[in-house]
Structure 1
Amino acid sequence: MTATLKQPAPRAHSRILGLGSYRSEVVVTNEDICQWIDSSDEWIRQRTGIVTRLRAPREVSVIDMSEAAARQALAAAGIEASQLGAVIVSTVTHQYATPSAAALLADRLGATPAPAYDISAACAGYCYGIAQADALVRSGAANYVLVVGSEKLSDVIDNHERTISFLLGDGAGAAVVGPSEVPGIGPSVWGSDGGKWDAIGMTHSLLEVRDHAEAAKLATGPDDLALISGAVGLWPTLRQDGQTVFRWAVWEMAKVAKQALEAAGVEASDLAAFVPHQANMRIIDSLAKELRLPEHVLVARDIEDTGNTSAASIPLATARLLTEHPELSGGLSLQIGFGAGLVFGAQVVVLP
């Protein structure tokens, strides 16, 4: 007789129990940016809506920011790190390809031996993390899951690069997801478009850096100075095809946002808030217009003084909305992330 495998008891629903955030006190103004690129405060404001962006001090790491945000989220959720059934960190700027940022974060928090892993989904990473946390909790695989979006984009910026560097900031946001008696996280609408893989990415691969570094080691004379200089200047930094990304974000992501509303069984008028990835103010405003949001729906515009923080932008913006408008607690929020890959993810959530 074949033995029957046991399975954990599934749960019907999950929800976000608490949020946390880390914001640096280092402010980089548009005037600061203009010392590196030929631009102006007026042009940057008109094209992006950004007035300032926050960047972390050199000694502060992705892990440091993640820990600060995570401790806030745990406190807000009213649980201990030892109760976590999984730790998920979305980041593309952890300084090591391996081991994961999540494993070290779990150890710092006291969540060991919870499973811990990183997600590389750029600006959609937080929504990817919420999708996975929702599934883990509802399947019974975990009671509570910590989801963190943390980026130190200043580590991968060439300040003289014009396509993306002036947009970017640093920060971390975190959420604790746990069981719920009523639906708290709607179905996730997520996916990718690898056909536009090179629309946002790095200027060089690590293999290119390796090959140039090895060649520089063999340099022996003054004629090789250019080779050595080239190797030093080959550090991978971010760049994008701005027009491709803008068109894709405005037209395609509006469709995804509508699909997330439909999947959750709600209308735009049922929302209390709309929290899109803080990529560009023009994209945010275009999406809000395309969704025909009523005036009572608060639209997150954290980008104005925080900048684009990739995976951290949605939890940072959501935490700020709740701090400034506590009456939003218990209301519905449509969140959507999109970025390098190209990848996207969206869901309607009940605000904690």
Structure 2
Amino acid sequence: MTGSRVVALGHYQPAKVLTNDDLAALVDTSDEWITSRVGIKTRHVGGPDEPVDEMAAHAGAKALAAAGLQPAEVDLVLVATSTAIDRSPSMSARVAARLGMGSPAVMDINVVCSGFTHALATADHAIRAGAAERVLVIGADKMADIADWTDRSTCVLLGDGAGAAVVVAEPDAGRPGIGAVLWGSVPEMGNAVRIEGTPPRFAQEGQSVYRWATTQLPPIARKVCEKAGVAPEELGAVVLHQANLRIIEPVARKIGAVNAVIARDVVDSGNTSAASIPMALSKLVERGEVESGAPVLLFGFGGNLSYAGQVIRCP
């Protein structure tokens, strides 16, 4: 059976940067309050002329260029997002049109913060089943559009952006570039992270999410490594959903990835939901912080109290 691998990455963020001091002019907060509680310093915010599909297309174009592929060579486009306003055309269809693709299959995947790792697994499955050979996988969210800018507990968290990966067939199925996914959810806690209402607004039960993430996720993440046949201490990098530095650091420590580079893009980008993992990984690779071929743990979690993780080989 053919496996798959990630061959290139790309990311995009809006030019406008919102600092903690900027937020202090909007709500009762401060740089010290935000930094001490979530570790975030800045976040990028898109304007009205930067919809989700445009950010996604920019990231996708960069990933395709890095892979040396033409848009017409892609046969499947997957966009993970929870902030698409329109039902149709989907974000994936709009990305395909923006990039001038041929006739790819197009599909949006909404699993909120773990959307990218779910989409990456879907790409791997499609390739293994013979349904695709070259897949563009994108995580893109415009969280500023759904933020409650009067709620200091949530608006300080959110940022906008997109990250993309090009996934291709790997003939050597004995050493796949994308390991088996481990995914699931906690249905009875699904209401702990919400995007609801008209207009839709983001809300969460912060303490419940924190306790769940820091206690329940580390053993699940270790099982992801076990499924891939990789010991935690062998990991070259750990890229968790960039939700909150106070979640990322203890979870990474409990996994036991003592030699790994830990992605901390949340400090500069905030919580960008489905974009956070591919964007953080793209930046690590761009800066040369992870060796090509090194095992990297990707682990998404959040909305729906869903999670999904896999170990990939760094492109």
Name 1:96's counterpart in structure 2.
86
Q: For 1:153 and 1:313, how far apart are their aligned partners in 2? A: 11
Name 2:283's counterpart in structure 1.
320
Please report the RMSD computed on the Cα atoms of aligned residues, expressed in angstroms: 1.2
C-alpha displacement at 1:203, in angstroms?
A: 4.6
Question: What's the secondary structure of 1:202's corresponding residue?
Answer: strand
Q: For 2:22 and 2:196, how far apart are their aligned partners in 1? A: 23
C-alpha displacement at 1:158, in angstroms?
A: 1.6
Post-superposition CA distance 1:55-105 (Å, at most 9, x none): 112211101101100011111111111111210000011121232111111
Q: For 2:178 and 2:290, how far apart are their aligned partners in 1? A: 19
Post-superposition CA distance 1:165-212 (Å, at most 9, x none): 1100000000011011241011100111221121111352xxxx4xxx
Name 2:250's counterpart in structure 1.
286
Q: For 1:203 and 1:148, how far apart are their aligned partners in 2? A: 23
Label 1:114 to 1:203 Cα distance change in 2 as closer, same or farther (>3 A).
closer
Match of 1:63 among 49, 53, 62: 53
Q: For 2:109 and 2:234, how far apart are their aligned partners in 1? A: 31
Q: Which amino acid aligns with 2:294?
A: G
Name 1:187's counterpart in structure 2.
180
Name 1:266's counterpart in structure 2.
230
Contact 1:163 1:241 in 2 (8 A): no
Name 2:15's counterpart in structure 1.
25
C-alpha displacement at 1:293, in angstroms?
A: 2.0
Q: For 1:254 and 1:111, how far apart are their aligned partners in 2? A: 40
After alignment, is 127-136 or 194-203 more displaced?
A: 194-203
Post-superposition CA distance 1:85-132 (Å, at most 9, x none): 210000011121232111111122222311101001001000001100
Unaligned runs of 5+ in 1: 1-10, 210-234
Aligned positions, number: 312
Name 2:203's counterpart in structure 1.
239
Q: For 1:248 and 1:327, how far apart are their aligned partners in 2? A: 29
Superposition TM-score, scaled by structure 2 size: 0.96
Match of 1:199 among 188, 192, 199: 192
Which residues in structure 2 correspond to 1:1-352 (within 5 Å)?
11-180=1-170, 181=172, 182-204=175-197, 209=198, 235-294=199-258, 296-325=259-288, 327-352=290-315
Name 1:212's counterpart in structure 2.
none
Q: Which amino acid aligns with 1:324?
A: R
**Percent pairwise identity:** 41
Q: Which amino acid aligns with 1:202?
A: I
Contact 1:148 1:175 in 2 (8 A): yes
Superposition TM-score, scaled by structure 1 size: 0.86
Unaligned runs of 5+ in 2: none
Q: For 2:80 and 2:51, how far apart are their aligned partners in 1? A: 14
- Return the index of the structure with the highest Cα Rg: 1
Could you list the runs of 4 or more consecutive aligned residues of structure 1 that deviate by over 3 angstroms after TM superposition?
none
